[in-house]
A and B are shown apart, each in its own frame.
Chain A
Amino acid sequence: MSGRLLILLLLPGLLLVTLLSLLLGSVELPPADLLSAMLFRENSLASEILWDYRLPRTLFAIVIGAMLAMAGAMMQTLLRNPLADPYILGTSGGAAVGVLAAFYLALPAWFHLVAAVAGALFSTLLLMLFSGFRRSRDTNRLLLTGIVLTTGWGALITFILTLSPSSSLPGMLFWLVGDLNEQASLTVPSLVLLLSLPPLLLASRPLDLLLLGRNQAASIGVDVPRMRLLLLAFAILLTATAVAFAGPIGFVGLVAPHIIRLISGSSHRTLIPATAILGGILLVAADLLSRTLIAPRMVPAGVFMTLLGVPLFLYLIRRQS
């Protein structure tokens, strides 16, 4: 399918889940009330729920989903491996440890993002150093290194949780499993997302060629070190921002790019925007399930993403070997 057509089909999909996410929730509101609240800003319960709760939450899910999906696609191109994902390879874990450490030390809120970037960067550098980055064809070594890093970050997370006062534990735990309930701010994630799109789209052609491998890409004229730096920088920035604001939500970065590649190939000009939109759709859908499935209780959205991602990942491993 052509890239333009795919994007044209994805946009109504995004609109549809957005509408569903606005209409459905733990408080059942008659559609007529919601419709009138949507069209006219009035002082009613429906209006308050719609504009103050459901809309910000839905937009937040779209932005975070888009960021995570793009980060996954960047990692896959960087490591030339369709199984690469910031969550599986420990990048999210590194960011999470950074954020929890900042929580624990009661550092100001803006420092959470800095700590997340530092953790994600450190973890990714370790991954590249120990996985034999130059021979990234070795999927086993890449995944094993990622799993070991993830396990290590997991232990550190438990350690920090153990030290933390019990009053702050529920908040930390819900953040950890990807809960969109307490969205902090929409501004910073949206800015990061909007700033990432132009440079990545402009570089879409050389990014395609990077998939041929380091030497082959260089031999036809691609500035490989610069492209790798671009991918690394944005994969880390997108992952870290998503983790800092929404917690480490897994598998969006694995599922979304995989589906887009199946439908329209691996050209980045399509892959980047289409993956972003699909990532938004997936996370809004996961969040919708989390709010409605056993309402009024809420399951964190990250749980549903993981439940969707694990079977796909197993299928991909089986197909690769």
Chain B
Amino acid sequence: MTPLVECHRVSLKAGSTLLTRELEWELMPGECWGILGPNGSGKTTLLQALAGLHPVSEGEIRLCGTAVEKMSRRTIARHAGLLFQETHYPFPLDVRDLVLAGRYAWQGWSGASSDTDEQISATALAAMRLERLADRPVNTLSGGERRRVALATLLSQQARVQLLDEPENHLDPGVRLKLLESFIEQLDSRRQATVMVLHEPALAVRLCTHLLLLFDDGSYELGETGQVATEASMSRLYGTRFHAVRAGEVLLFYPG
């Protein structure tokens, strides 16, 4: 089986600062990867590079076997969808229309939406529990509601790889986990996969099958969650001593 994402010796820079050095990584269908790292370690840059929005300075990124830089925007959008850290809407736009916009890469040149498009975006709206807000303009919603709209848009895009940049932003602690779990449940584990940048190690441990740790110096560590999420690696990652406690099935990390 072809991996959904292949990174071969990928190095990334922001300006002249080296962020990631010679990353070797493969993402297979059904996997859920958490990217952890301190501020400025290049987590967002890596996600954007995977979506073809940031150039690699060395190496190559392939989506389903094809190099990203050889793909059109439309083809990339069918392979990789991105949830941005922040969204800003200066013009009024209804929630329903925004979620339907996720279908663009699958529509003809006129951008007319078919019944299938309508159905897929309605399912996405329901999965993110947005039916009640469907006819509201997005700019009148709260931060958390807007976050759910962005997640629903991504679901309706039906890309092979879901790239989530800090998906927990603006979400209440109470619904955070459930919402992201129901997001992942909507995916087809035989063809889709998820990569999420997270700030909270505990959330990563609960949601992700694998972890990719990006260190300050451009090095990285990756593997299955159980093997990578240790006191030692978290302490090294954030540059401060971390302790792990197990509470039932939940593994928690706290600094101190």
Query: Could you tell me if A212 and B89 are in contact, using CB atoms closer than 8 angstroms?
Result: yes
Question: Which B residue sits closest to A201, measured CB to CB?
Answer: B110
Query: Could you tell me if A137 and B104 are in contact, using CB atoms closer than 8 angstroms?
Result: no
How far is it, in angstroms, between the C-alpha of A37 and the C-alpha of B48 when the chains are bound? 67
Q: Which of B78-126 contact A (CB under 8 A)?
A: 78, 81-82, 84, 87-94, 97-98, 101-102, 104-105, 107, 109-112
Query: Could you tell me if B51 and A81 are in contact, using CB atoms closer than 8 angstroms?
Result: no
Known: A206-B111, A211-B93, A265-B93. A220 touches B88 (CB 8 A): no
How far is it, in angstroms, between the C-alpha of A218 and the C-alpha of B74 when the chains are bound? 8
Question: Which A residue sits closest to B105, measured CB to CB?
Answer: A221
- Tell me if A48 counts as interface (CB < 8 A to partner B): no
Query: Could you tell me if A215 and B84 are in contact, using CB atoms closer than 8 angstroms?
Result: yes
How far is it, in angstroms, between the C-alpha of A137 and the C-alpha of B90 when the chains are bound? 8
Q: Which of A162-205 contact B (CB under 8 A)?
A: 202, 204-205
Known: A137-B90, A213-B88, A261-B92. A220 touches B105 (CB 8 A): yes
- Tell me if B19 counts as interface (CB < 8 A to partner A): no
- Tell me if B243 counts as interface (CB < 8 A to partner A): no
Contact with A along B192-214 (1 / 0, CB 8 A): 00000000000000000000000
How far is it, in angstroms, between the C-alpha of A206 and the C-alpha of B87 when the chains are bound? 18
Measured between beta carbons, the chain B residues less than 8 angstroms from A213 are: 87-88
Measured between beta carbons, the chain A residues less than 8 angstroms from B73 are: 218, 221-224
Known: A219-B77, A221-B77, A223-B74. A81 touches B90 (CB 8 A): yes
- Tell me if A284 counts as interface (CB < 8 A to partner B): no
Question: Which A residue sits closest to B74, measured CB to CB?
Answer: A221
- Tell me if B41 counts as interface (CB < 8 A to partner A): no
How far is it, in angstroms, between the C-alpha of A207 and the C-alpha of B151 when the chains are bound? 22
Question: Which B residue sits closest to A266, measured CB to CB?
Answer: B91
How far is it, in angstroms, between the C-alpha of A209 and the C-alpha of B105 when the chains are bound? 11
Interface centre among A81, A212, A266, A267 (most CB of B within 10 A): A212
Closest approach, in angstroms, between the C-beta of A57 and any C-beta of chain B? 35
How far is it, in angstroms, between the C-alpha of A202 and the C-alpha of B101 when the chains are bound? 16
- Tell me if B16 counts as interface (CB < 8 A to partner A): no
Question: Which A residue sits closest to B75, measured CB to CB?
Answer: A221
Interface size class of A (residues with CB under 8 A): 20 to 34
Interface size class of B (residues with CB under 8 A): 20 to 34
Query: Could you tell me if A219 and B104 are in contact, using CB atoms closer than 8 angstroms?
Result: no
Measured between beta carbons, the chain B residues less than 8 angstroms from A212 are: 87, 89, 98, 101
Q: Which of A219-277 contact B (CB under 8 A)?
A: 219-224, 261, 265-267
How far is it, in angstroms, between the C-alpha of A89 and the C-alpha of B5 when the chains are bound? 44
Query: Could you tell me if B88 and A208 are in contact, using CB atoms closer than 8 angstroms?
Result: no
How far is it, in angstroms, between the C-alpha of A224 and the C-alpha of B76 when the chains are bound? 13
Measured between beta carbons, the chain A residues less than 8 angstroms from B105 are: 220-221
How far is it, in angstroms, between the C-alpha of A195 and the C-alpha of B19 when the chains are bound? 48
Measured between beta carbons, the chain A residues less than 8 angstroms from B141 are: none
Query: Could you tell me if B157 and A220 are in contact, using CB atoms closer than 8 angstroms?
Result: yes
Known: A221-B104, A223-B74. A205 touches B93 (CB 8 A): no
- Tell me if A216 counts as interface (CB < 8 A to partner B): yes
Question: Which A residue sits closest to B94, measured CB to CB?
Answer: A265
How far is it, in angstroms, between the C-alpha of A81 and the C-alpha of B90 when the chains are bound? 7
Cβ 8 A contact of A205, one of B77, B78, B102, B111: B111
Cβ 8 A contact of B101, one of A204, A208, A266: A208
- Tell me if B72 counts as interface (CB < 8 A to partner A): yes
Question: Which A residue sits closest to B150, measured CB to CB?
Answer: A216
How far is it, in angstroms, between the C-alpha of A218 and the C-alpha of B80 when the chains are bound? 11
Measured between beta carbons, the chain B residues less than 8 angstroms from A90 are: none
Cβ 8 A contact of B104, one of A82, A209, A215, A267: A209
Known: A82-B90, A221-B104, A265-B92. A202 touches B109 (CB 8 A): yes
- Tell me if A80 counts as interface (CB < 8 A to partner B): yes
Query: Could you tell me if B104 and A220 are in contact, using CB atoms closer than 8 angstroms?
Result: yes
Query: Could you tell me if B77 and A204 are in contact, using CB atoms closer than 8 angstroms?
Result: no
* Residues of A bordering B, CB below 8 Å: 80-82, 137, 202, 204-206, 208-209, 211-213, 215-216, 218-224, 261, 265-267
Nearest 3 pairs of A and B residues by beta carbon: A205-B111, A221-B77, A221-B105
**Can you show 7 pairs from A to B with CB atoms below 8 A apart?**
A212-B87, A215-B48, A218-B52, A220-B105, A222-B104, A261-B92, A265-B94
Given contacts A218-B53, A220-B104, 20 further A-B pairs with CB under 8 A are A80-B91, A205-B111, A205-B112, A211-B90, A211-B91, A211-B93, A212-B89, A212-B98, A215-B48, A215-B53, A215-B84, A218-B52, A219-B81, A219-B82, A220-B81, A220-B101, A220-B105, A221-B73, A221-B77, A223-B74
